[in-house]
Amino acid sequence: MTSKQFFIERIDPSGPRVWLEGAEHHHLARVARIRPGQEIWIFDRSGARYLAEVESVGKDRSRLRILGPSAAEEPGVALTLGQALIKPANMDLVVHKAAELGVRLFIPVISDRSQGGLAESGAKKVERWNKIALEAAKQSRRGAPTTIGPLTPLRDFASGRTEGRRLYLSENGGRLLGEVLSSPAGSDPGPASAALLTGPEGGWADSEEACLKDAGFTAVSLGRTVLKAETATIVAVGMIAHFWGG
């Protein structure tokens, strides 16, 4: 079975042939050096995933024949991650790891203590983060790439969430995240959807924590150890994927 996976914005399964173009064709032809007759996986933004045979590799595009659908395993919980803006390289890391771990929607959040200039540079980086998320989805064989939302002020993020569970990491107390995740109500294995808000490097302002609590968010903690913002996010998302992702 092939380990190569390529992205097409929208796949029409009634084809039964599709074309791979642009950067994905370049990767297939020049980087992976896939040849006619080989089988690959293709997937699109809707989460559709198919096994396909490469019929021809041209200069600008490759022709593929769809062999059949394949269900990619996605985490059971539809997780939205709000990450307060942190240093650009660390944001890149968080996006990549969040996409690997199955985050459905990633929203960069502007907080009171985001470092100066991050909001301006972040707006230009959304396209970059989309590319990072796509590469991570291909590498981890996700069914669909993580969607990257626009830069959003914290108060708008808080008021706009409708997920079944809403959590935020706090340095000022809160229940241990492990306890929250491992003790769902009754026999319910976990919520169908959840939102997690993490960061920033300087912590939340008191007014922001009050806003989050008013919006139905629960403060959670990773314990006494003080972690860097990007580390805390990756740990928390990994725990949610483990406990609620089944």
- Residues 6+ positions from 84 with CB-CB distance below 8 Å: 109, 110, 111, 113, 114, 154, 197, 198, 199, 200, 229
Domain around 27: 5-69
Average pLDDT, integer, range 104-120: 85
Asked if residue 82 and residue 23 are part of one domain, the reply reads no
Higher pLDDT, 15 or 125: 125
Total domains, the chain: 2
- Give burial (CB, 10 Å; 0-12/13-18/19+) of 190: buried
Asked if residue 137 and residue 63 are part of one domain, the reply reads no
In this predicted structure, the answer to whether residue 186 has a pLDDT above a threshold of 50 is no
Asked if residue 130 and residue 40 are part of one domain, the reply reads no
For the four alpha carbons of 226, 228, 229 and 230, in that order, the dihedral sign comes to negative
**Confidence band of 12 (pLDDT split at 50, 70, 90):** confident
**CATH number of the CATH domain containing 9:** 2.40.240.20
Q: Which two tokens stand for residue 116?
A: 């100066």
Asked if residue 55 and residue 26 are part of one domain, the reply reads yes
User: Of 3-7, 35-39, 70-74, 131-135, which range is least confident?
Assistant: 70-74
**pLDDT score at 74:** 65
In this predicted structure, the answer to whether residue 72 has a pLDDT above a threshold of 80 is no
Q: What is the mean pLDDT of the chain?
A: 89
**pLDDT score at 189:** 65
Asked if residue 27 and residue 118 are part of one domain, the reply reads no
| Of the residues 27, 49, 69, the one at which a domain ends | 69
Residue corresponding to tokens 């041209």? 58
Asked if residue 54 and residue 19 are part of one domain, the reply reads yes
Report the alpha-carbon distance of residue 74 to residue 141 in Å, rounded. 10
**pLDDT score at 188:** 56
Higher pLDDT, 90 or 15: 90
Average pLDDT, integer, range 164-168: 96
Report the alpha-carbon distance of residue 235 to residue 214 in Å, rounded. 26
> pLDDT over 90 for what percent of the chain?
63
Residue corresponding to tokens 């200039």? 117
Asked if residue 165 and residue 88 are part of one domain, the reply reads yes
Asked if residue 125 and residue 209 are part of one domain, the reply reads yes
| Of the residues 69, 93, 114, the one at which a domain ends | 69
Asked if residue 111 and residue 203 are part of one domain, the reply reads yes
Model confidence pLDDT, tens digit, residues 49-68 = 889 999 999 999 999 999 98
Asked if residue 139 and residue 90 are part of one domain, the reply reads yes
How many angstroms separate the Cα of 199 from the Cα of each of 48, 96, 102, 211? 33, 16, 19, 15
**Contact between 208 and 156 (Cβ < 8 Å):** no
Report the alpha-carbon distance of residue 167 to residue 120 in Å, rounded. 27
Asked if residue 226 and residue 193 are part of one domain, the reply reads yes
**pLDDT score at 133:** 93
Asked if residue 63 and residue 124 are part of one domain, the reply reads no
Residue type, position 90, single letter: N
What secondary structure, in 3-state letters, does the chain show? CCCCEEECCCCCCCCCEEEEEHHHHHHHHHHCCCCCCCEEEEECCCCCEEEEEEEEECCCEEEEEEEEECCCCCCCCEEEEEEECCCHHHHHHHHHHHHHCCCCEEEEEECCCCCCCHHHHHHHHHHHHHHHHHHHHHHHCCCCCCEECCCEEHHHHHHHCCCCEEEEECCCCCEEHHHHHHCCCCCCCCCCEEEEEECCCCCCCHHHHHHHHHCCCEEEECCCCCCCHHHHHHHHHHHHHHHHCC
| Of the residues 69, 99, 125, the one at which a domain ends | 69
